[in-house]
Amino acid sequence: MNKQIIPNYLAILLAYLFYRNENEQVKQYWALRNQILDERFGALERAIQDLPVDRNPYGVVVIKPEGSMYPHLKIKKLPPGLSLDWLSSQLARYGVGLVPLSAFTHTSQGFDEARQSFRLTLGGGEAANVLYRKMRRLVIDLNRLIQREQIRYNRPSFIKMGFGIRKNGSLIESEKFWTGIVELIQAYSQRIIGKISRDWPNYGDNTEFLSSYLPERLSVFKHLFFDRISLAQEILYFSKTKPELLLNRLESEFYKDQLDHREKQFRDRLYDRTVHPTQIYSLEVERIFNKLIDRYIYADIRDDKVVRSAALALVNEYYGNNVALDSIQEGFEILCDLKTVNESEHLTEMAETKRFQPFLSYWGDWDGSTRPSGQGHRLDWPEAPGC
């Protein structure tokens, strides 16, 4: 693979010409470069330190880079739910371009850290005193934007629900069912791994799959299994005791929409769901476990053929053989996402103190003031239908 990479001959030539100088000249160049970058970073740091506390209530700080010229602008007290993408788009209206650090992350831990930070640069031709003034203005405007959005942002408060199994059975039976699933998957996976070790002895160390990877993935689906069982039974319970919830849902979902309005919404959407090469989990595994859980909830059966498929899919996921998606599988990806969306809305309807829909098929403007013509009676924003 490395042999297929064509060397950058121009970069090699420049590096050669640069390092043809005497050793002392090269060291002087790097010392001067580091001095300039240190002066620029010091100006950014002083600009924040010189601000009074009331001008920086959200704790904006600048973090010094290590081995590069890209410091991080971190918002320590970022309000929950506030997106840096929104802040960067608002700053762009004032001629300030900031890139959220989350655009450079590849792991969940990295995203958790990067969701509060922007990436800056110490490059360019501006002097330290110019950067001082710009950073001061940036921090003031950034705090003002955050404060303005926090006032508009209402964090939903959920009531604590005592979910329990209301099915013809008990929690013990569900535990027993899941334990049987886990034992079968472990047995099938061990056979598959054993065959791989025999047929391809140089394929790699397979002990990590059985000792850590498989238990970790099964624990995730265990939570999903019991969450969906509890949610299904709560929905059944509420449909009997509070049928108006079901009626409200049907009223908002079974209305006739206009095709041209839907097409406009699709074109004006803020983002697109695409497949990224950095994903590490398989859609096939999620689809199979969805099938296992649904068959237990709605038919009370266990299909050993599906269990064997789950074991094989987990092994292939571990080796990365089924992670990539083709265009046909993207349709199944949409269905899996829609299932999660629906369950989230069901949960919020039962566990939230007020009407709340995190995934909204809105009409017209964001304030809910308009709706396509010819659609019958008008529903205000709090009653807009969900997906």
**Per-residue confidence (pLDDT) for residue 369, from 0 to 100:** 36
Report strand pairing: 72-75 vs 99-100: unpaired
Question: What's the angle, vertex CA 344, arms to CA 340 and CA 349, rounded to 5?
Answer: 150
Mean pLDDT score of the chain: 78
**Cα 183 to the chain's mean position, in Å?**
31
What proportion of the chain, given as a percentage, has pLDDT over 70?
Answer: 79
- Spatial distance between the Cα atoms of 76 and 113, rounded to a whole number of angstroms: 10
Domains and CATH numbers, the chain: 9-152 (3.90.1150.10), 171-383 (no CATH)
**Per-residue confidence (pLDDT) for residue 155, from 0 to 100:** 58
Q: Which residue has the higher pLDDT, 37 or 103?
A: 37
Q: Which residue has the higher pLDDT, 324 or 37?
A: 37
Question: pLDDT per residue over 174-186, tens digit each?
Answer: 888 999 999 999 9
Question: What's the angle, vertex CA 82, arms to CA 365 and CA 248, rounded to 5?
Answer: 50
The residues, any chain, with a CB within 8 Å of residue 29's CB and separated by 6 or more, are none
**Per-residue confidence (pLDDT) for residue 16, from 0 to 100:** 87
Q: Which residue has the higher pLDDT, 173 or 382?
A: 173
The answer, yes or no, to whether residue 308 has pLDDT greater than 90, is yes
Kindly state the DSSP code that residue 257 receives in the 8-state scheme: P
**Per-residue confidence (pLDDT) for residue 205, from 0 to 100:** 66
**Two tokens, residue 13:** 């030539």
**Per-residue confidence (pLDDT) for residue 272, from 0 to 100:** 55
**Per-residue confidence (pLDDT) for residue 257, from 0 to 100:** 66
Kindly state the DSSP code that residue 339 receives in the 8-state scheme: H
Task: Determine the average pLDDT of the residues in 312-329.
Answer: 86
The predicted model scores a pTM of 0.52
**Per-residue confidence (pLDDT) for residue 237, from 0 to 100:** 79
Cα torsion 195, 301, 338, 86 to 10°: value is: -70
Report strand pairing: 99-100 vs 117-119: antiparallel
**Two tokens, residue 305:** 């053929």
Question: pLDDT per residue over 239-257, tens digit each?
Answer: 788 787 777 767 766 666 6
323: helix, strand or coil? coil
Question: pLDDT per residue over 277-296, tens digit each?
Answer: 557 788 899 999 999 998 88
**Per-residue confidence (pLDDT) for residue 81, from 0 to 100:** 73
